Structure 1
Amino acid sequence: MTPPLPVLTEALQACLKEAFAELPRLTGRWCDRVLTVLYEHAMLIPDSAEKHRLHEALTSLKKNRSTIEQQLAPAVSRAVMEELRPGGASSEGGRSFSSLSFDELELMGDSQVQTTIDSARVHQVTRLACESGFSDFSARFSTVQGFAAVKADRNPLRPEVFSQTLIKLMQGLPVDGEARSRWMVHGAHPLGDELQALYMRLGGQLARAGIAPAAYAVLSAPDEKSGRKADVVQLNAAAQNQAAQPGAPKHAAISSVLTLDHLHRLLVGEYDDSFPAPSPFDDMQVAAASHAEFSHTVPAAMDLLVELKEKGAGSAATPGSNGPQRINGVAAAVTPLSPETAAEISKVRARFKTEAKSLGQSLAIEVVGMMISQMANDTRLLLPVRSFIASVEPAFLNLAVADPRFFSDKSHPARRLLETITGKSLAYASEEAPGFEQFMKDLVGIAVALRDGPTHEAQHFALLLELFEQLQARQAAQASQAQSRAVQALLQAEQRNLLAGKIAAEIRARPDYVGGSRVISAFLTGPWSQVMANERLLGEQGGLGARKAVYSLTLGELLWSINIEQASQHRKRLVRIIPEMLKAIREGLLSIDYPLEKSKDFFDELMAIHQEALKPAAATDLKVVSRARLEKEFAAGDEGRDQHWMAPTEAQDSGFMDNDLGMDTRPLQDEPGDAPYKPSAAAIGADVVDSLHLKVGDWVELMSDTQWLRAQLSWISPYYTLFMFTSDGGRQHSMTSQVLQHLLKIGLVKVVSQRGVLDGALDSVARTAVQNSVQTKDGN
């Protein structure tokens, strides 16, 4: 049973207190052990040059030991507290080789590459050395954090926080790079041992406090769809591991080609000269060989779809049948790769590796193979798309051995083609989604063109990219116009709502804002502030010409008329201004398309006040109500004044989703009395963007009209108060920051993709290169 929240809070604080108290002693013991290890290695190693370097590292560590002991504990404490901060990071303190991106690698220098490898080795060795203690401690600490399942990556005391903080500290010391590298290499295991002891101690403390370990999440058995996914994974994994043959060297599974150093050299162009330019005769041979082998990799389902496309026929599959899945009566463009097709792809890759003329070409082949495999196993993509990507691997292998710019140039046509295809495919949440059939037909044409064309030429990919974009633009033109209208409507609404908020505050601060009722107050700080905001904006844009601010003047008369004590003393004036005032109010509401029926309560209340003021004896019994009292009385009734209001036409143009969904987006109030702090819409929007790293182009799944839709974040307003998503067919879904925050919280909006499929695949290649570098070094 999970202890109540106060116990958890006390346990967490006690755990952190114990860890922070132990940090100085841990640092001292670590320095002692590293000095001992360096000395022992210096005594045993026969190489005099390396012995000298170890002695220099030993001397340097002795000189800087006091600095390390003074600074490491506070630095770790700060990193841990940053991890615990709401919205705070899985942060810089925990950054390891697992976060290295392909693009970052190109910008690194040689020394940074080596530092990255050393850092990765420290993280790995440290984690392995303390794995058993950390597992038990993390399970209990997850309970302390309030998690039902173990979330080791959310543990602020995880090994990476310690190791990365130590590395950053060492990098800031005035120490030779070789000495620092030896500290890292020989200090990783001692750090892991010290953390193992710390975790055992902290885990025991939590156990004595009665904190039970959280459960480890168990993956459910795959359904039919995930089973199909597993087939693709397995087949691609088989294709990728063809090199591991019986009798291969001990470390055959570890690529000696794909290391971080080699990959860095490929990206910065050091291997460009090793990609010989083919002669015209070679061009013909390559094209012929590529066509012969690539023809085996294009699944038969593609030919079927081509035929169906020409005939325009195809019967629906029988429900429950094991035949190919059908989309709107047409077979899916690409079925899961058969073992035969996977074997053919494997043979093509093996032939390219055998015929590679240089290390650069061998590396390019390996990178493309891993990149395609990663993309073909990316579960964000539907199975037909993933199978298509796997089937066109030979075309990209052919390009890779001829044009190394594919890796270093983000604008290379072949990379842009993959990015565009995978990006467009994220718009489809299922194979039954409208438009997916046509999308797959377009991919069939691309696949055939890649099979038949000169895929060693970048220009061929440029032409295919242009063709594909033109095909996709058929539906995009109308959607683009709709999106432009929606953005214009939302921009107008945001400007008006922000200004209306300021005007509402101005109204409440007026000296004549002392009378009326809750209904009147809500109207003035709600709809009427919108009317005045719209009037001011039109005036600023020259839309009113020389016309005076009629509705601002009407406000003064309205406030005067609802002050019963004052109005009752000037009944003739009240009778004279009422008709024009009511006319101006109705015109003002119509100017923003505000439904008059929604203002019925206001007009009824206003009429009652005016009737009271026109009574002869009304003035004698009335008292002026103070503004402070009104503010307190009306606070609960002014809920609408801070809500974003959209005119019906604006809501229609932008697909506005509001609180008609039945959601309560007001902040919870723990205690009665004064209202709690309520962040502004802009502050909420900024927090959503920062905490989730949301940006235009991200894909989500959202619930709309009881159906799940795949939609792309297409626009964020300048002040973060409004967000707009676009789903299939250019349909818009806009909402306020409060509504988005609530939908995210209750799971009716789910972020699907924030990193491009191709970028993610290349990042995975970079991380694998780091891992290979570490393991290759350890294996030597």
Structure 2
Amino acid sequence: MTLTAPARLPAALESAVQRVRMAARSAAERTVDSLGLAALSSNNVFHRDGLLGAQFELNRKLAIFALTFNETLDQRVAREAGMLNTQGGAPQTNWDALSLVTDHEVEIQVSADRFALEISHACEWEIRELDAYMGTLLKFGRADHERNPLRAEVIGQAMIRAVEAVAERPETRKVLGAEIGRSLANLMRPTYAEIVADLRAAGIKPVGLQVRQTPHDAAGRATTGPGSLHGELHDSRAHELSASGRLSARGPAGFAPSTGGGGFPRGAFGSGGGGHGGAGGRGTPMGRVDAEMMSLLRRLSFSTATADSGSSGVSGFGSGPAGGSGFDGGGAASGLGMLMAPNLIVAHREELRQAATGALDHMVIDVIASLFDQILSDPKVPPQMARQIARLQLPVLRAALGDPSFFSSRKHPVRRFINRIASLGTAVDDFDGESGRALLARVRELVQEVVEGDFDQMELYEHKLNALEAFIAEQAKAEVHAQGAADELLGKKEEQLRVQQRFAQQLDGALQPLPVPDFLREFLGRTWSRVIAQAEQSDGGDSVLARRMREVGRELVMSVQPKGVPAQRQAFLKLLPQLMKDLNAGLDRMRCPEPVRRDFFAKLLPAHAESLKGQALSTLEHNLLAKQVDGALATPLPKGNELPPVNITALPVLNDVVSSADFSAAEASAVGLVDESAVDWNGAVDIDLGAEPELTTVDLDIAGLPVPESVEPMRGKTLADHVQIGFAYQMHIEDAWQKVKLQHVSAARTFFVFSHGAKQRKTVSMTYRMLSRMCETGRMRAFESAYLLERATARARRQLAQLKPN
């Protein structure tokens, strides 16, 4: 068979081919320069000689490289486009169709595929967009990557052939292939973008929406292959309308909506259903997904939207195996128990893979299928919540296909929404109770809104997540009120402490310019300021006690001033007993810790002794100093409504002064406050045999997917900064491990309220300092070893490692 010259290509395709030729020529020229620089920086003589030899050959035969690349590319493009003529009308054949090929041809194909993979990773979205335009230009009827004449494999073949024409020695070919391939891969992304822009400017529209109707066999399984029924929609106007969210309820060409089969119910064509995967939507799309894949996801998702999600099963989820499949798509996954809902991705795996356009999408489909095998068999997730999470399988797959950060970012809204549902369900002991039924109903409602809504948009998940957290906050508030309104008492106590903290800062600032010893200034600012504040908060600012506490502060400052005359010494000795009495009374009132009291008096007594030996102040200096001290100690106590907004960075300062001593016995009993002194911090903690090891980033890293962020702490001191309302924790109280649920966190995260007990709910409150100490000493940890998706990823990774190739 002899090939003749290719028929003339369409003008738009010819222009695109010319851009690729220019990119290849530019890559070769850049390679000549880069080889010279690499040779200069090489320390190995043989390596440097190899680089210089490759540079010499390429520079000498640059024209041959360009000519061979152009000819090979033209032949391959014409063949792929079906425009390559043959003599005698014999069918054209390429080496792929032969049963025997030489080793050299195999090496060429492997090198071309390796180069194509490098381009595909760098230009995946540009190539997908080009597939849609080529489907229209060459009248394929759909975006078919395997028939795109400018796909990476075609360009890779042309490049390898051109390198062969330049160099005869294998080592030189290897160097040139690597260097030119690297340069060309960097140039292809803007080249593909320019080609798409040219096609768009020429009036060519991408292939529109495709709705594929797939019949089901008697067993309810989707059938595929040549016998499948495909109802395809190729209206470019429909593509434009769907991308802008203005497609009518019936759809183009009178396509009537329905709740099953291949039809779409009202709202099926949201802003994310266009050929650009939602690029024209009103919100923020989670990356781009091909129109065919998006249509399939919406059809499958809406076919399940009317299912009775509250039943023991999940009717309407489509047929398919009830068990897991792992990554191979069939059979029961090793180590998995009975799934609590059908795995839709496994049931429709072949349809999804056919709609996908690349190996990366195939991998994502298999990974998500395996994740839901693990999710739907997780023993910590109640079946009621597992069935709600199962309804989100296709929206989660949409997020994973379009947004690589789904696998890497633990703050991704879709991940957080799934993890919140699972963790909140784990904390419920009885779904037949009022709070359990209310939570399940709210989750079912939010999930239904996601499935029926435009799950292509990031804002949808953020909105539903905020709605779920607001519901949990209201429910927790109602439960705390029913158990004694501990949140109100703790809220008032926290405001009092914030007022004391603010007053301490203001008083310390007023004392700074005064000639006061450092230990005394620190005592007045940190300790005695709380005595004054407590007196005014309890008895009022005009009370005798409040005025006396301010007078004690003034007398304390003047008591350490030099007293050089007998009259001053006599006056000091006369006032000292009452001063010491009032000091001790104030410190007792605020329950000052004994170490603080002892340290202060250890410094005050020598200061008093030293003041009897110094040079006395003049009357004017004494009066001026007394007036300044009176002015500083007259600093008014701020009111609660005058406090600045809560500043998280100031919390450690506030938490350092908060302790159980700030509560009376009645107050501590009312809120169930745990006293630090009541815990044997040196005692051993019983081992919890049911505890699982904490996961690390290594446990979540699946080869081929983005590297995940570090997991949130589930134990240790840092857990105190990550506790969340409605979540369950394990706490070692009453000499045993108890499952507790966080019900309230004060505005400044100073106080935390937990509840425990199945029937008789008990309230346990603690300060931030107490909570941190409990976490640090291993007396408190999260009920889950990791969030649901992280647990599922770790198990899927272990399962993948155990699979052996057939």
Which TM-score applies when normalising by structure 1?
A: 0.38
Higher helix share: 1
Structure with more contact order per residue of length (Cα contacts < 8 Å, sep ≥ 6):
1
Structure whose alpha-carbon radius of gyration is higher: 2
